[in-house]
Amino acid sequence: MQLASTRLIAADIRAMVDFYELVTGYDAEWLAPVFAEIVTPSAALAIGSADTVALFRAGSAEPAANRTAILEFMVPDVDADFARLKDKVEVVHEPKLMPWGNRTCQLRDPEGTLVALFTPATEAAQKRFGARWKMSS
């Protein structure tokens, strides 16, 4: 089994896609007017309009209701990305060293989901991410 993507349901799909294009630096591929994907080297982020929920089961998901997940993006330099984004997005916290060795900042997307950008800062954290860390830096 392989995790293929994480999908967010959006009331305002354009605002969400614009946010994630800004944060990641990747262009979204619009597969339908109500569905887009941002594909990074390690994972895909899918964004579906609230209109897509009825295709599965009406009421099974809703926009702006997430308070449990944090989308995390490993970046070569969290401080540089924070400086680039801090005046353009909602900041939850500035970069700081976490107990598990990552230097992390958190942002909030237009519909409330937490987004963390992090750089493995300690030798142990860099070792834990191994080849994935070397590819991102």
pTM of the model: 0.92
Domains of the chain (ranges; CATH) run 1-62 (3.30.720.120), 66-137 (3.10.180.10)
- Which amino acid would we find at residue 96? K
The closest alpha carbon to 48, from 33, 60, 59, belongs to 33
Q: How many other CB atoms are found less than 10 A from the CB of residue 28?
A: 20
Q: Which two tokens stand for residue 123?
A: 């030798």
How confident is the prediction along the chain (137 residues), in pLDDT tens digits per residue? Answer: 888 999 999 999 999 999 999 999 999 999 999 999 999 988 999 999 999 998 899 889 999 998 899 999 999 999 999 999 999 999 999 999 999 999 999 999 999 999 999 999 999 999 998 877 765 65
